[in-house]
């Protein structure tokens, strides 16, 4: 890749997109352009004198303006199905029209579905009914359609990405561990976690845009250490300095997940409709507020049935192709990554 090319990153206010933009800016190897949907979520990027542009992937006019002059596009934006599928199609159409030199699409190992064993890039797509995983399959299929039209495309499939700024696998999990209601899932937490630190994912992305051999290829991105989900919970819990986790038996965890599933849906409705009578009661009366806070705490600290299935999945996503073709070598072992994550949480006061 030539020096000081302009790289557009979509989803720049997101977890991976934010890390990527900051890394590109700090290493100075290219002019980075951060594509955002709204200013309200751009506080993290405002720490640096970056070029920030509006790039709602559902708005072709914004995409065209954001992509003008950019020779490399790294598509990190994600969301609901329309953002993933139609948004990716919009990005591909504009990139082809403007003659982009490289388009890197960030996908996920969830496109493999509920599999077991060692999984490489030759494994077929598997639809599971998951909105996110199924939409990512459709987005990948679009990428290969545009590759046939001579758009230089690389697809990357990270596994479980964690590290500072991760909402799902750091912030939310830390709160669950703090709740006292989380634990070791006996019979359901012995699946392989496939943790990869976000800095290693960024490293993989940068390798993909620099190697000509990456064009027309798909690569798994995973970390250097395979541990179970229960081991992840235990080691993160220890990094946070919390009391030892209790063991949660299989029947209890399944039953609790099933019972709270409809409760979660109802709670989301209440909290998302500010003018509802129940929401007003929650705001006005101490007793109602206490009940809602207790329910909210229980909901957040309970694994869903979907999560329990994930925690039991015994798949290892192989990275030998990325290692051999790109020179990808993840450097963050789990303990180092968790210590960094715990330190970040403590620094920002996100844990007690």
- pLDDT at 300 > cutoff 60: no
Structural domains of the chain ordered from first start: 6-164+194-224+313-347 (3.40.50.720)
pLDDT score recorded for residue 292: 47
pLDDT score recorded for residue 4: 80
Note the pLDDT tens digit of each residue in 127-157. 999 999 999 999 999 999 999 999 999 999 9
pLDDT bin (cut points 50, 70, 90) of residue 187 is confident
- The backbone region for 333, taken as left when phi is positive above 0, alpha when psi lies in -120 to 50, beta otherwise, is beta
Report the C-alpha dihedral over residues 252, 257, 263, 269, rounded to 10 degrees: 160
- pLDDT at 274 > cutoff 50: yes
Note the pLDDT tens digit of each residue in 101-122. 999 999 999 999 999 999 999 9
Tell me, letter by letter, the H, E, C secondary structure of the chain.
CCCCCEEEEECCCCHHHHHHHHHHHHHCCCEEEEEECCHHHCCCHHHCCCEEEECCCCCHHHHHHHHCCCCEEEECCCCCHHHHHHHHHHHHHHHHHHCCCEEEEECCHHHHCCCCEEECCCCCCCCCCCHHHHHHHHHHHHHHHHHCCCCCEEEEEECEEECCCCHHHHHHHHHHHHHCCCEEECCCCCCECCEEEHHHHHHHHHHHHHCHHHCCEEEEECCCCCCEHHHHHHHHHHHCCCCCCEEECHHHHHHHHHHHHHHHHHHHHHHHCCCCHHHHHHHHCHHHHHHHHHHHHHHHCCCCHHHHHHHCCCEEECCHHHHHHHCCCCCCCHHHHHHHHHHHHHHCCCCC
Single pTM value for the model: 0.88
pLDDT bin (cut points 50, 70, 90) of residue 46 is confident
pLDDT score recorded for residue 295: 47
Distance CA 257, CA 176 (A): 14
**Percentage of residues in the chain with pLDDT exceeding 70?**
84
- pLDDT at 255 > cutoff 50: no
Tell me the mean pLDDT in the region 289-306: 60
Distance CA 199, CA 292 (A): 38
pLDDT bin (cut points 50, 70, 90) of residue 281 is low
Tell me the mean pLDDT in the region 121-125: 98
pLDDT score recorded for residue 270: 52
- pLDDT at 294 > cutoff 50: no
pLDDT score recorded for residue 128: 96
What are 151's two structure tokens? Answer: 């758009």
pLDDT bin (cut points 50, 70, 90) of residue 247 is very high
Tell me the mean pLDDT in the region 221-234: 98
**Percentage of residues in the chain with pLDDT exceeding 90?**
77
Distance CA 163, CA 27 (A): 20
Note the pLDDT tens digit of each residue in 82-105. 999 999 999 999 999 999 999 999
pLDDT score recorded for residue 259: 45
Tell me the mean pLDDT in the region 38-66: 93
pLDDT score recorded for residue 29: 85
Residue 213 CB burial class (10 angstroms; 0-12, 13-18, ≥19): exposed
How far does Cα 307 stand from its chain's mean position? 15
Sequence-separated (6 or more) residues with CB below 8 Å from residue 111: 125, 126, 133, 136, 137, 140, 157
């Amino acid at each position: 890749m030539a020096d000081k090319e302009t790289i557009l990153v979509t989803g720049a206010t997101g977890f991976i997109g934010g890390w990527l933009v900051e890394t590109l800016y700090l290493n100075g190897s290219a002019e980075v352009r951060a594509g955002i949907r709204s200013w309200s979520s751009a506080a993290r990027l405002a720490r640096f004198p970056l070029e920030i542009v509006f790039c709602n992937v559902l708005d072709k006019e914004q995409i065209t303006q954001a992509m003008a002059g950019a020779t490399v596009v790294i598509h990190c934006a994600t969301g609901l199905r329309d953002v993933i599928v139609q948004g990716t199609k919009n990005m591909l159409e504009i990139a082809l029209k403007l003659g982009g030199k490289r388009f890197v699409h960030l996908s996920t190992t969830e496109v493999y579905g509920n599999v077991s064993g060692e999984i490489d890039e030759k494994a077929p797509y598997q639809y599971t009914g998951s909105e996110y995983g199924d939409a990512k399959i459709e987005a990948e299929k679009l990428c290969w359609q545009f590759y046939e039209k001579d758009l230089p495309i690389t697809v990357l499939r990270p596994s479980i990405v964690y590290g500072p700024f991760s909402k799902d696998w750091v912030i939310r999990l830390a709160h669950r561990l703090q709740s006292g209601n989380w634990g070791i899932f006996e019979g359901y937490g012995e699946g392989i976690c496939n943790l990869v630190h976000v800095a290693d994912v960024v490293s993989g992305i940068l390798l993909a845009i620099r190697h000509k051999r990456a064009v027309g290829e798909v690569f798994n991105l995973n970390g250097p250490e395979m541990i179970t989900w229960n081991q992840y919970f235990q080691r993160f819990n220890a990094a946070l300095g919390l009391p030892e986790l209790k063991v949660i038996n299989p029947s209890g965890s399944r039953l609790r997940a099933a019972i709270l599933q409809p409760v979660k849906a109802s709670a989301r409705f209440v909290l998302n409709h500010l003018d509802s009578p129940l929401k007003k009661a929650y705001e006005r009366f101490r007793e109602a507020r206490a009940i809602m806070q207790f329910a909210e705490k229980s909901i957040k600290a309970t694994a869903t049935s979907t999560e329990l299935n994930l925690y039991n999945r015994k798949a290892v996503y192989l990275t030998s192709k990325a290692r051999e073709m790109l020179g990808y070598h993840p450097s963050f072992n789990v303990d180092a990554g968790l210590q960094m994550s715990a330190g970040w949480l403590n620094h920002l006061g996100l844990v007690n």
